Amino acid sequence: MLGLFFLLFPYHRSQGFAWGKTWLGRDLERQIKDASLNLGPFSVRTVFMLTNAGYDSNVYYGATPAPVEDLTFTVSAAFNVYLPVKKKLIFSIYKYPQYVYFRETERERGLGTTVSLGRFI
């Protein structure tokens, strides 16, 4: 079945794809070439992030009579998967799961994710 997929959607990593001589095209080319993992025609780029770390003096932004203080941080990983289909067409999947942690305010802790599909012509 996978062989049929590669037969129907040939790819040529050495040829130019949907990037041109624009800043967006050069950035797309760099992301695909610098991918941390290549599985057949798929290029996977991963990024790990620790953001929003610090002290929050008012977790609820004034919605409560007394300010609620807490320490917080966000841990996330981004996954970009690129699939060059033909010379001028690339499909992409972007997944960005993140976990927000509050030290004292447990009900504000949570896991969220963003997923987007795209195509570059």
List the chain domain ranges: 10-120
E-assigned strand segments in the chain: 37-39, 42-56, 70-86, 89-102, 110-120
Q: pTM to 2 decimals?
A: 0.63
pLDDT tens digits along 68-78: 999 999 999 99
pLDDT tens digits along 19-66: 557 777 788 888 888 888 888 888 899 999 999 999 999 888 888 889
